[in-house]
Amino acid sequence: MRRRKTAVAAGCCLAFLLGTLLNLLFIPGSEHPPPPRDEVPPSPPGAPLYPPEEEIGGGQAALARQIRERYEEVLRYRQHRAAAAAGRRPLRPRERRLMDLAPPRTSAEQPRPPGPRGRAAAGPWAGASAELSLEPPLLGCRDIRDVSGVQYLGSGYTKAVYKAVLNRTLAVALKAVDFGGHDIAHCVRQFSALGDCYRLAAYKIVKEMILLQRLRHANVLQLYGYCYQDSNDIPDTLTTITELGSPLEMIQLLQTSWEDRFRICLSLVRLLHYLAHSPLGSVTLLDFRPRQFVIVDGELKVTDLDDASIEESSCTSNSDCFMEFPARNFTLPCSVEGRCQSMNEKRNLYNAYRFFFTYLLPHSAPSSLRPLLDKIVNATGELHWGIDETAAQLERVLNLYKSGEYLQNTTRMPKAEYRRVPEAFIPDENYRCWPSYHHKGCLLSVFDVNEAIEICDSYSQCKAFVLTNQTTWTGRQLVFFKMASNHIVPDPDKITYVKVTD
């Protein structure tokens, strides 16, 4: 009996170990893909993009249809912008359909960033740049030949992202199709056609590249350029060169000051307001998660747009306008035009509420601002407001905070007297407070000296504070709060206030 129990236990352990090993081996995209190659080997002339369906099998026909559908989606974004900007002008010769543009390349040794005046590259993928009427890039293949400090940052289902330094001065992000990622692996398993599977995945990068060009806003990541070059035996693989940001880490954000967390929410609302009224129409982010955003100089910017959409849902009744989320659902009105009213806008707004506002807005905010912030959170959580009203209310919070008006309704009678010591600093005597701009001390922002006194009075260990000449993004002054004033040193850029009575 004991041997049987021992054998069963050993079998369970072995099954568990094998299962763990298999999971590790077959996690999609778990391995770091190689960075984009610098060399550009010659590429042979290619065949037409879409072979006749009678000449290919059912699986290949299905893949060809997927490629065509994704290509046509990309083309809609280009044509949408072109029609709006040029009064629905006819397409010029260099904007012919992609499948009609596949002349061979005359000099395969020279990589070139394709643009409106560039030659169409060889191969079935080649004519995309001319067809999509991309703007000439600021940076191209020549700029990424001599990159340094290449570092893998991460990957998703489709793309791999690398950090690189150009000319030893400019840090950028390089995005390319992840050959070891989920999209490519799944497609190759299904169709056994690496080249076509790459093309299908790469159209998502082309779509994102076009949207980055069309959606010019302070909270949209900047596209610096792109490069088509041969790699992995596939002609004209695409690498995009973009602005580099820091990943958005929610746990770290929760440990920052309320002022910085409010800036993230304000950046997001300004972005969503722009997307609701963009030149392309109302844009929704279908894959709305914190990982789709980065932080650049304290500002939130959207970086992944390959899953963005301008399609408004059609409807015949309100029941067709159903939005489902994990915590709750909404039904929007169906317009007389047969479209769900503001669905793109409301989807973005509710996602902003559940991923950002709930965690970042009310916590540790100034007490006089909390009623307004609670109102904003509740109104967006119930979708009582649209993005216009939400943006207006957050701008109101910013104005109250920057102007100091939020302090007018608070009691500001000092509990102690303070002695002013100009051009002086206390180098030590730190204590920790939360949230603080300094991890080893208590460094907070204040509107004026009176608010600094109020804060010092609220901390039992505070015996002095030092006004610095540094300010935050709102123009508020940074102040060190100290637990003693035993050692004061000269400093022309600071003013110290010492508590003389309690």
Q: Which residues carry out catalysis?
A: 287
Nearest to 264 by CA among 225, 303, 293: 293
Residue written as token pair 């958005």: 248
Burial profile 92-121: b = 16 or more Cβ within 10 angstroms, e = fewer:
eeebeebeebbeebeebeebbbbbeebbbb
Nearest to 300 by CA among 249, 254, 239, 349: 249
Distance of alpha carbon 423 from alpha carbon 392, whole angstroms: 41
Distance of alpha carbon 471 from alpha carbon 352, whole angstroms: 28
Distance of alpha carbon 226 from alpha carbon 169, whole angstroms: 18
Show the tokens assigned to 293: 């955003």
Q: What are phi and psi of 225, to 5 degrees?
A: 170, -170
Q: What are phi and psi of 490, to 5 degrees?
A: -70, 140
Q: How many residues does the chain have?
A: 502
Q: Decide if 405 contacts 399 (C-beta within 8 A).
A: yes
Cis peptide before 41 (omega within 30 of 0): no
Distance of alpha carbon 99 from alpha carbon 68, whole angstroms: 10
Torsion sign over Cα 282, 287, 289, 291: negative
Q: Decide if 423 contacts 495 (C-beta within 8 A).
A: yes
Q: In what order do the strands lie in the sheet with 148-155?
A: 148-155, 159-166, 170-177, 234-243, 223-231
